[in-house]
A and B are shown apart, each in its own frame.
Chain A
Amino acid sequence: MTHTPTPTPTTRAGIPLQPAAFGSCQAAAPVVALRQVYKTYRLGAHVIPALQGVDLSVARGELLALTGPSGSGKSTILNLCGLIDTADSGDIELNGQPIDGLDEDALTLLRRDALGFVFQSFNLVPVMTVAENVDYPLFLTGVPAAERRERVAAQLAAVGLADHAHHRPDALSGGQRQRVAIARALVKRPKLVIADEPTASLDSHTADQVLDLMRECGHAEGAAFVIATHDSRLTSRCDRVVALLDGRIQ
């Protein structure tokens, strides 16, 4: 009897995925892993369950889309993966490191060094130029000025905004702003990028461009993406889609 080896799963771009990318909790060192995570919110006297025992892990280089109706828990998972919120119970690991018990400053430093964020409404700093916005995460991590200049220029070139380095965000279109936000998220070569409805404010053509950009840059850098979206065009091009309903993975 012959044994046929199981082929190594890959992303749609051909990048090999680690087993953790398939939601297995036993996989070694996924970029981020949630195990039996519960989260509730209080609205006055009402307790609203946002997550009810979610297990999820994301592998290096994976583009993971979270879908579901409003209130299904997408944003809560993003917040937890982005270390800007804490779970009521359950375990969260980043790069195999449990984050439970870390204080706010330690979480901030983890975000600074390992995470990138892309927001629906871009959230660029209006008083900074495009280059300064992209430079900011590098400045925070203490990269020397000369190296920062090089990396910012290269990243802006990568997102096609080299000529807009000294413009202010308000002089850019929505698509350009989102590209700046992607450059800002990727310039420090994060392990994980959290993207909340990154194409919601963009027209379809620009949304396609932005998605291409995230795929290209993400794969080149080896960054995983966790993207909350309602956009079916976007989900169709992600490596994996996780549907949520009432705080549970479907």
Chain B
Amino acid sequence: MNPTTPLPTAPGPTSATAPKTTSRLGDWVHWLRFALHNTLRNRRRSLVTAAIAALGTAAMLLAGGFALFTYESLAQAAARDTGHLVLGTPASFTSDEDVPLQHGLEQVDALRQQLLADPAVRQVLPKVTFSGLISNGDKSTVMMAVGVEPDAEFSIKGPFLTVTAGSVLTSGETEPTVMLGEALARSLKAAPGTSLTLLASTTEGAMNAMDVVVKGTFTTGVPEVDKRAVFTSVALAQRLLVTERVSSLGVFLDRMAATLPAQARLGAQHPTLEVKNWEQQAPFYQAVKELYNRIFGALGVIIGVIVVFVVTNAMAMAIIERTREIGTLRALGTLPGQLQRSLALEGMLLGGVGALAGAGVSLLVSLALLVFPVDMPPPPGRSVGYPLNIAIDPALYLLTLVLMVGLTTLASWAVARKTVRMPVVDALAHT
């Protein structure tokens, strides 16, 4: 101590009513720095707390990313299967048919040209769905057949079928050809080049038969479908059913996002027809989405609760340890709200650092899965697995980070509430 040091000159005590002259930003920086120092007091505890928040965040992001990838895959598959939009007569969506194509579309060529004039429409594909029998001469079995335009269908849909033998259908075949589901081909002892006979009821109710040659076999990944599925051309199907009609028109758009506007537009242009979008035609998609939303929603709630408990516990310990210091700060003139805010900032920092670390882990795992693919086992009812991918969705990341930081901040705020409001005398006497 240096007794000769001149004492600071005093302009007088600061008035309680003196206006605050420090900037709000400066105040926040001050409190944030104070909170940061406090979180570093017990580094091991802070590290564990932040690690739990990181694990929680990573788990949420990975689960959410997996769900989003699944939704996106199912949506793409559904849209690829039916088209983004499906046009048909209203009755075709609501009523059973007494005879094949009873509710089918007529004058399809003109309708296709009108639809193709829409700027969002990339392709319009007719489809004839019918059932009947397929026979190898010794054995007959039920088939669920679809007539498509082979070249356009395979070019617009890409490799939507896994060809197991032979090749896919092409337009301009010299002889009537079909593709069979793998299990159906095995049942009929058919292979590419095998002659079979299709039997079906015509639109007049009479039976008709047609000899066809197997062009190839395929699997859809669903064994039950592969036992019955037959692909052929629209022309062959119409010849077999003796009609010019098609069951529906699948409208393929340039992007998924154009679906709803195009639906409204085409619906207005064709008031006598019904325009359904892919989602309305894909109950499986809705069911999976609802199921996953519940599963992953519950998972998210559990993770959130765990993180809140961990942060609450860590902050409670930190606050109890610092009760006397809180009393000192209160005695010095710190308002309870200021202390509560400071302690909430500590929770925010712990949660924020943990959430950022968790987001980094999730990002790395998602990218690693693209570089080192991992296959999931086949889901129930399917025969092939699918690649495990995690969607990297900025909105999901932002939402999860905000949620995690918000939860940890609120948990700290709540746990600090009692202590910062306890009588200063009691806080100072705390041991």
Contact = CB atoms under 8 A, between A and B. Distances in A.
Contacts of B11: 189
Contacts of A159: 1
Q: Which of the listed residues A111, A128, A140 has the most CB atoms from chain B within 10 Å of its own CB?
A: A140
B13 A112 contact: no
Contact of B6 (A82, A140, A158, A184): A158
B40 interface: yes
Contacts of B324: 123
B332 A155 contact: no
Interface residues of B, number: 44
Interface string B29-56: 0100010011011000000000000000
Contacts of A114: 13, 16
A136 B325 CA distance: 13
B327 to A, nearest CB: 8
Contacts of A127: 34, 37-38, 40-41
B37 A144 contact: no
A190 B423 contact: no
Contacts of B272: none
B215 interface: no
Contact of B332 (A110, A111, A144, A162): A111
B40 to A, nearest CB: 7
Contacts of B332: 111-112, 117, 136-137, 140, 184
A188 B13 contact: yes
Given A125-B325, A139-B30, A105 B13 contact: no
A155 B428 CA distance: 26
Nearest to A78: B425
Contacts of B30: 139
A160 interface: yes
B13 A189 contact: yes
Interface string B1-29: 11101111011111110111110001100
Interface residues of A, number: 54
Given A79-B425, A85-B423, A113 B14 contact: yes
B6 A123 contact: no
Interface string B321-358: 00011001111111110100000000000000000000
A117 B331 contact: yes
A139 B24 CA distance: 12
B431 to A, nearest CB: 11
B16 A113 contact: yes
Interface in A136-154: 136-137, 139-145, 151, 154
Q: Which of the listed residues A104, A108, A151, A191 has the most CB atoms from chain B within 10 Å of its own CB?
A: A108
Nearest to A184: B332
Nearest to B337: A105
Nearest to A192: B13
B424 interface: yes
Contacts of B331: 82, 84, 111, 117
10 contacts: A84-B428, A111-B331, A125-B328, A136-B329, A142-B19, A144-B21, A160-B5, A190-B13, A220-B7, A221-B10
